[in-house]
C-alpha cells in the first residue's frame, strides 16, 4: 500500500480533532468512512477524499465524527470512580463549603454518557455529604452522534451489562423493550455540550474536577501539551484532573502534580489529599 493513501483524510482529521491516525490506519478509515461515502453519494472513499477540503461542513463533520472513538461503559476501570467517591469528592465538598461555591465537574470526552452518569449515580448515593451545595456535571464530546445518544440516556442490554452493578440498574433505569432508559433524576444532574478540545474552553467556566480519560492517547505530544494547558487555564487552583490508566503528563506538562497512591490522579495545588484505604 502507498504511504500516501488517505493522506488528505489523515491530515484533515488531525487538523480538526487532534487525532493522530497515521499511515497504519487504512483499515480503520475504510471501515468507518465507507458508510459516510455512501450516505453522501460518493462513488467511494477516494471520491470523498478528493473533495473533502471543499466539501460542505455537514460532510466534514460526519467524517470527523466517524473517525472518533466512542468506546465507553459504566464505571469503566472502577479505580477512578472509587477514588472519586472516597477521596476526591470529600475534598471537593470541603473546598466548596469553605469558598461558598458550587462543585463543577467536567467529563471532557463524555462519548455516549456512561462516564458522567456514573459520577451522577455516585453523587446521588452520597447526597448527605454534599447537602446544601450545588453540583454541576458537564459532559462534552466532539461527536454529535455520541452526544445525541448520551442525552437520550437509552442503552442496550449489552451496554448496561458492561460495568453497571445490578443494584444501580434496578435503582436508576427502567426497561424499554430490549433497552434501558436512565432515570430523569440522573439525567437532570448532567448537561451535555458539543466541544472540540482544540478550541477555546473558556465557555465552560471554572472547573473543580476534570475527567479527561483515554483522550490524550490519540494525540501527538504537541497537541497533548496544548490541550492540557487549556484545561489548566479553566481549573480552580484546588482542582483535580483524572487521566486514563495508560496516560501520563510526564513530558507534557509541569503544571500538575501526580497524586501519589492514586492512579491517574493529578492536581494543581501542591498539597496531599487525605489518604484513604483505596487500591491505586
Is 58 in the same domain as 174?
no
Position 95 pLDDT exceeds 90: yes
Per-residue pLDDT band at 69 (split at 50, 70, 90): confident
Residue 165 lies in a domain: yes
- Mean pLDDT, range 252-272, rounded to an integer: 86
Do 16 and 37 belong to one domain? Answer: yes
CA 143 – CA 278 distance, rounded (Å)? 34
Q: Scan for cell 443494584, then name that residue.
A: 167
- Per-residue pLDDT, averaged over 124-142, amounts to 96
- State how far the Cα of 42 lies from the Cα of 220, in Å rounded to an integer: 31
Confidence (pLDDT) at 272: 54
**Shared-domain flag, residues 174 and 244:** yes
Residue 37 C-alpha cell reads as 461515502
97 and 47 in one domain?
A: no
- Domain containing 216: what range? 79-267
Pair 154, 44 in one domain: no
Mean pLDDT of 237-255: 92
* Domains held by the chain: number: 2
Are 103 and 241 in the same domain? yes
Q: Is residue 249 part of a domain?
A: yes
Q: What is the pLDDT of residues 210-238, one digit of tens each?
A: 999 999 988 999 999 999 999 999 999 99
List alpha helices for the chain, DSSP H: 7-17, 26-39, 45-50, 57-67, 79-83, 89-99, 114-125, 144-152, 157-161, 166-172, 184-187, 221-233
**Residue 214 falls inside a structural domain:** yes
CA nearest neighbour of 109 among 64, 71, 79: 71
Among 19, 44, 67, give the residue marking a domain's end: 67
Residue 59 lies in a domain: yes
CATH code of residue 99? 3.40.50.150
Amino acid at each position: 500500500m502507498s504511504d500516501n493513501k488517505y493522506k488528505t483524510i489523515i491530515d484533515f482529521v488531525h487538523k480538526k480533532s487532534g487525532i493522530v491516525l497515521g499511515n497504519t490506519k487504512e483499515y480503520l478509515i475504510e471501515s468507518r468512512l465507507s458508510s459516510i461515502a455512501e450516505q453522501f453519494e460518493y462513488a467511494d472513499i477516494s471520491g470523498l477524499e478528493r473533495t473533502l477540503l471543499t466539501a460542505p461542513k455537514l460532510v466534514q463533520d460526519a467524517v470527523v465524527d466517524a473517525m472518533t472513538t466512542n468506546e465507553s461503559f459504566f464505571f469503566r476501570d472502577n479505580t477512578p470512580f472509587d477514588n472519586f467517591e472516597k477521596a476526591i469528592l470529600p475534598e471537593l465538598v470541603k473546598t466548596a463549603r469553605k469558598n461558598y461555591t458550587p462543585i463543577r465537574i467536567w467529563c471532557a470526552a463524555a462519548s455516549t454518557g456512561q462516564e458522567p452518569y456514573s459520577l451522577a449515580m455516585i453523587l446521588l448515593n452520597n447526597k448527605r455529604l454534599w447537602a446544601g451545595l450545588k453540583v454541576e456535571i458537564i459532559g462534552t464530546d466532539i461527536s454529535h452522534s455520541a452526544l445525541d445518544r448520551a442525552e437520550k440516556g437509552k442503552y442496550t442490554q449489552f451496554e448496561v451489562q458492561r460495568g453497571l452493578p445490578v443494584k444501580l440498574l434496578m435503582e436508576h433505569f427502567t426497561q424499554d423493550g430490549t433497552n434501558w432508559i436512565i432515570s430523569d433524576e440522573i439525567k437532570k444532574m448532567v448537561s451535555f455540550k458539543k466541544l472540540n478540545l482544540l478550541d477555546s474552553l473558556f465557555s465552560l467556566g471554572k472547573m473543580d474536577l476534570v475527567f479527561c480519560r483515554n483522550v490524550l492517547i490519540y494525540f501527538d505530544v504537541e497537541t497533548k501539551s496544548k490541550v492540557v494547558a487549556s484545561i489548566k487555564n479553566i481549573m480552580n487552583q484546588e482542582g483535580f484532573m483524572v487521566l486514563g490508566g495508560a496516560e501520563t503528563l510526564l513530558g507534557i506538562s509541569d503544571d500538575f502534580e501526580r497524586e501519589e497512591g492514586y492512579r491517574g490522579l493529578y492536581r494543581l495545588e501542591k498539597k496531599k489529599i487525605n489518604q484513604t484505604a483505596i487500591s491505586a
